[in-house]
């Protein structure tokens, strides 16, 4: 049975969504049905299906750094293997690896940002605040 989650101000209950599945599918972290992005990498302001306000989604550099490091290593390794096996001219490397790198990086960035946004929703992550008590 799916667990029900409720955030402050929610009037309805929604089944708990898997962070990985909604992140990879670029779906709303609350209902799992609404679209997460209004364009290639820009999150929507509000879910069209359940009305979730996406202002909690902090767009940091974490997913971009992770994608650059992981994808850079994978593509460089594949390019080296390609060079070792086939010895193609440089123009063929450019013709093959530029589109592959661009396509994989866009997909990976969308997925990593989606996973990050879903994780922030699930853990109720918010901007840090200081607790200042008057000592007077």
Structure tokens at 72: 């850079």
Q: What is the pLDDT of residue 133?
A: 66
β partners of residue 37: 43
Count how many Cα atoms sit within 13 Å of the Cα of residue 103 in the half-sphere of its side chain.
5
What's the pTM value of the predicted model, to 2 decimals?
Answer: 0.80
State CA 57 to chain mean position distance.
10
pLDDT per residue of the chain (136 residues) written in tens, 0 to 9: 444 444 555 556 888 999 999 999 999 999 999 999 999 889 999 999 999 999 888 878 889 999 999 999 999 999 999 999 999 999 999 999 999 999 999 999 999 999 999 999 999 887 776 667 655 4
Q: What is the pLDDT of residue 60?
A: 81
* Residue 78 CA: distances (Å) to CA of 1, 50, 63, 87, 90: 43, 42, 22, 13, 15
């Amino acid at each position: 049975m799916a667990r029900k989650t409720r955030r402050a101000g929610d009037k309805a209950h929604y089944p708990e969504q898997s962070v990985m599945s909604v992140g990879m599918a670029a779906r709303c972290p609350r209902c799992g049905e609404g679209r997460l992005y209004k364009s290639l990498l820009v999150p929507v302001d509000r879910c069209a299906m359940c009305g979730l306000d996406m202002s909690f989604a902090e767009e940091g550099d974490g997913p971009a750094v992770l994608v650059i490091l992981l994808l850079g290593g994978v593509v460089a390794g594949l390019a080296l293997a390609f060079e070792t096996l086939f010895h193609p001219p440089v123009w063929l490397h450019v013709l093959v690896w530029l589109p592959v790198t661009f396509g994989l990086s866009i997909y990976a960035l969308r997925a990593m940002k989606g996973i990050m946004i879903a994780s922030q929703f699930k853990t109720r992550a918010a901007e840090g605040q200081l607790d200042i008590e008057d000592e007077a």
